[in-house]
């Protein structure tokens, strides 16, 4: 090893889903929304000029924070925004997980958590999901340095009841509990209603899924004013201008169109439930996903082989070569037309 290499921080990075360069593929591998953003986003984009690019954006992203606060009926001081929920979560890890005690998150979950823990040198433990891939709440009733989990979980899509989340909060009043709600708009109840009761709760959401804006990179979090103030202190010590002007303005426009948001989420939920029926007919089994994806396995077809066959046919899904889930595929819910193309391929491939 060269001398200068000895002091370089080394981590195993997160591996994002493949972004194919070729055209005319069916992309069901990264949980993007198959529908375009609200028409109000397009209107806001047309109103932007090059003059808006000349100056630094508002470091507080006030326009976006106010829009989010109004939509979710909280105070602007309870809202934190960042460059996608990954940025928000990374800031939360850096800000809140500093006790030296291990933080807790599930063994099967969003695979960025252990990457951030490694990057920031945070010890961690991963309580195992049960045989039904459910989070066992009692595993979090012990001493720790903080807790984070998605609800619904990823890649399983299973939702934890709000009563179980509250029990975890009641048993962990001395640490920060982060509920990652990237997929909450596709089913289930948000933990946002617990915010006034538990000052150690941080609820994180994103525009990448239900708001159809993965390419714009907008994430946000809700917490008590003291938590948000601490997050901002770390953000301003790292990069004051994390949100660009376009993201602020277009994000605010997206939040203002509640009708479009509700309709898009409804379409995805309907397509997801239809997919459950049709995939069951083809011999697949799966968790009862409440997200915008399905986590499926087949009784006779190995997941790795099916993943390769789908990819060769221009249909991209996600395969995880990891213990316990290496015979599952995660399939993003696309448009009805995209899903029908998937079913046609599967019928032929499985000779159904």
Q: What CATH number should be reported for the domain holding residue 294?
A: 3.90.1150.10
Query: 284 and 223 in one domain?
Result: no
Residue 185 structure tokens: 């708009």
Residue 203 within any structural domain of the chain: yes
Residue 8 within any structural domain of the chain: no
**What is the chain's pLDDT, residue by residue, as a tens digit (352 residues)?**
789 988 898 888 888 888 988 888 999 999 999 999 999 999 999 999 988 889 999 999 999 999 999 999 999 999 999 999 999 999 999 999 999 999 999 999 999 999 999 999 999 999 999 999 999 999 999 999 999 999 999 999 999 999 999 999 999 999 999 999 999 999 989 999 999 999 999 999 999 999 999 999 999 999 999 999 999 999 999 988 889 999 999 999 999 999 999 999 999 999 999 999 999 999 999 999 999 999 999 989 999 999 999 999 999 999 999 999 999 999 999 999 999 999 999 999 998 6
- CB 149 within 8 Å of CB 134: no
Going by C-alpha positions, the residue among 244, 242, 236 that lies closest to residue 53 is 244
Query: 183 and 317 in one domain?
Result: no
Residue 187 within any structural domain of the chain: yes
Residue 351 structure tokens: 């000779």
Query: 181 and 312 in one domain?
Result: no
Domain count, the chain: 2
Residue 134 phi/psi, 5-degree rounding, is -95, 145
Query: 269 and 198 in one domain?
Result: no
Question: d(Cα 293, Cα 40) in Å, to the nearest integer?
Answer: 26
Query: 185 and 80 in one domain?
Result: yes
Sheet containing strand 284-286, strands side by side: 284-286, 293-298, 329-332, 318-319
End of a domain among 256, 284, 312? 256
Question: d(Cα 217, Cα 307) in Å, to the nearest integer?
Answer: 28
Query: 113 and 71 in one domain?
Result: yes
End of a domain among 231, 256, 281? 256
Residue 7 structure tokens: 């002091």
Query: 171 and 91 in one domain?
Result: yes
Query: 250 and 282 in one domain?
Result: no
- Give the pLDDT of residue 17: 85
Query: 263 and 251 in one domain?
Result: no
Answer whether the bond into residue 152 is a cis peptide, omega within 30°: yes
End of a domain among 256, 271, 305? 256
Calculate the CA dihedral of residues 192, 257, 210, 62 and round it to 10 degrees.
-60
- Give the β-pairing of 79-82 and 219-222: antiparallel
Q: For Cα atoms 67, 73, 79, give the angle at the middle one, nearest 5 degrees.
A: 60
- Give the pLDDT of residue 352: 60
Residue 4 within any structural domain of the chain: no
- Give the pLDDT of residue 16: 86
- Give the pLDDT of residue 250: 97
Query: 187 and 46 in one domain?
Result: yes
Residue 11 within any structural domain of the chain: no
Full domain range(s) for residue 83 = 41-256
- CB 64 within 8 Å of CB 243: yes
Q: What is the DSSP string of 147-163?
A: EEEESS-TTT-PPPPHH
**Bridge partner list, 197:** none
Query: 213 and 87 in one domain?
Result: yes
Question: d(Cα 279, Cα 284) in Å, to the nearest integer?
Answer: 5
Query: 322 and 191 in one domain?
Result: no
Question: d(Cα 153, Cα 132) in Å, to the nearest integer?
Answer: 13
Question: d(Cα 284, Cα 297) in Å, to the nearest integer?
Answer: 6
């Amino acid at each position: 090893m060269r001398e200068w290499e000895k002091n370089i921080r080394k981590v195993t990075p997160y591996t994002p889903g493949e972004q194919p360069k070729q055209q005319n593929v069916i992309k069901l591998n990264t949980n993007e929304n198959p529908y375009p953003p609200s028409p109000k986003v397009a209107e806001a984009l047309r109103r932007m000029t090059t003059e808006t690019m000349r100056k630094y954006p508002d470091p507080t992203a006030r326009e976006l924070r106010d829009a989010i606060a109004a939509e979710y009926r909280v105070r602007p001081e309870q809202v934190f925004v960042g460059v996608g929920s990954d940025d928000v979560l990374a800031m939360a890890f850096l800000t809140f997980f500093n006790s030296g005690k291990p933080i807790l998150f599930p063994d099967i979950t969003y695979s960025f958590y252990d990457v951030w823990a490694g990057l920031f040198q945070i010890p961690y433990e991963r309580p195992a999901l049960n045989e039904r891939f459910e989070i066992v709440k009692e595993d979090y009733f012990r001493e720790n340095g903080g807790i984070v989990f998605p609800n619904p979980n990823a890649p399983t899509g299973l939702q934890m009841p709000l009563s179980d989340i509250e029990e975890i909060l009641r048993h962990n009043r001395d640490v920060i509990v982060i509920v990652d709600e990237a997929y909450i708009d596709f089913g289930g109840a948000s933990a946002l209603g617990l915010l006034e009761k538990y000052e150690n709760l941080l609820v994180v959401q994103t525009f990448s899924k239900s708001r159809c804006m993965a390419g714009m990179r907008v994430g946000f979090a809700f917490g008590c004013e003291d938590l948000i103030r601490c997050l901002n202190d770390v953000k301003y010590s790292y990069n004051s201008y994390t949100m660009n002007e376009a993201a602020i303005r277009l994000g605010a426009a997206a939040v203002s169109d509640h009708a479009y948001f509700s309709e898009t989420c409804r379409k995805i939920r309907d397509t997801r439930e239809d997919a459950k029926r049709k995939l069951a007919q083809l011999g697949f089994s799966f968790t009862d996903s409440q997200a915008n994806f399905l986590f499926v396995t087949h009784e006779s077809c190995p997941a790795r082989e099916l993943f390769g066959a789908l990819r060769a046919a221009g249909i991209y899904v996600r395969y995880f070569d990891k213990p316990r889930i290496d015979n599952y595929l995660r399939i993003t819910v696309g448009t009805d037309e995209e899903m029908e193309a998937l079913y046609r391929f599967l019928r032929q491939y499985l000779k159904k």
